Structure 1
C-alpha cells in the first residue's frame, strides 16, 4: 500500500515521469527506463524506481522487470487525463472553456449597446479563468518537476 510519507502528493517530476513511462511501456528493465527517459546514469533511474516501489506504485516481477501497480494508478494520476498520447491536467478543459467565454464576453461588450450585464459576466469569467489556468500550470509543473 501507499505510505503516508510517499503519498501521491510527494510523487512528482522525474519520479512521476518514471511511473508514467512504466505504465505506458509495460514491464521495463532498469536500463530501458534510463534510456527511455534520457537519465544520465542507471542509478538515477534506480532511485526513482525504488521510491515508487516503497510507495507501492511499482512492483518487480519474477524476471526483475518493473511493472506499474494499476491499483495505485487512480490516486497518482487523478489530476490528469489522457488525451491521445499526452497526459494533460484535468483543469485544462475548464481553463480553455473559460478562456473562450472571456473572448465571447469581450466581443459582446465591444459590440453590444447594453453593456451593463456583460461587464459583470466578463469580470466573473476573468476571475474563474485565472484560477483554472493557475491550477493547470501548477499541475504541469508537478509533472515536469518544477516546484
Structure 2
C-alpha cells in the first residue's frame, strides 16, 4: 500500500464502503447484487481496483476490506463496528456534556453567576451548536 492517501470516488468508493460495512467477506456476485450492477465483471473491476490499492484482501471466503485510514474520502469519518460516523460527533457529544455539567454546577453553586458565567456558557453553547451542525452536515452529505 502506498504511503500517501488513496483517492476513491464514485462507484469504487461505494463498493469500498459496502465492503467496510459487511460483517463478513463478500463475493463478486454479492457485490454485484448489492450495488445493482448488471454484470459480475463490473463488480470484479471495482474490487480489483481496491485490491491494487491495497484496501481489500482476498481470502478463502471472499474479499474483505482491511481499513479506511488511508482513504482521503473517509478521513472525516470513524468506523465503529459496521457504522461510519462523522468524527465531529465525538466533539459534539463532549461539548454538549461539558455545557450540561457547567450549567448544572452553576445552578448548584450560586456563586457562579455574572458576566464570566454568562460568557463561558455562551462559548460552550456556541461550540456545541457548531459541532452538532458540522456533524449533521457530514452525516447528511455522506461519504461520497
The TM-score normalised by the length of structure 1 is: 0.60
Find out whether 1:75 has 2:70 as its counterpart.
Answer: yes
Equivalent residue, structure 1, for 2:17: 17
Q: What is the number of residues matched between the two proteins?
A: 133
**1:83-122 correspondence runs (5 A):** 85-103=82-100, 108=106, 114-122=113-121
Q: Give yes or no for contact 1:19–1:52 (8 Å, CA) kept in 2.
A: no
**Residues 81 and 18 of structure 1, relative CA distance in 2, 3 Å threshold:** closer
The TM-score normalised by the length of structure 2 is: 0.61
Task: Give structure 1 stretches of 5+ with no counterpart.
Answer: none
Task: Give structure 2 stretches of 5+ with no counterpart.
Answer: none
Considering only aligned residues, what root-mean-square deviation do their CA atoms show, in Å? Answer: 3.8
Q: Give yes or no for contact 2:19–2:64 (8 Å, CA) kept in 1.
A: no
**Residues 103 and 64 of structure 1, relative CA distance in 2, 3 Å threshold:** closer
**1:1-147 correspondence runs (5 A):** 1-2=1-2, 7-8=5-6, 10=8, 14-21=14-21, 24-26=23-25, 28-35=26-33, 38-41=34-37, 42=40, 45-61=43-59, 65-68=62-65, 70=66, 72-76=67-71, 79-82=77-80, 85-103=82-100, 108=106, 114-137=113-136, 139-140=138-139, 141-143=141-143, 145=144
C-alpha offsets along residues 28-49 of structure 1, whole Å, 9 cap, x if unaligned?
21111233xx322245544542
Q: Distance in 2 between matches of 1:98 and 1:57?
A: 34
1:53 is paired with a residue whose SS is helix
Quick check: which one's helix share is greater? 1
**Residues 25 and 64 of structure 1, relative CA distance in 2, 3 Å threshold:** closer
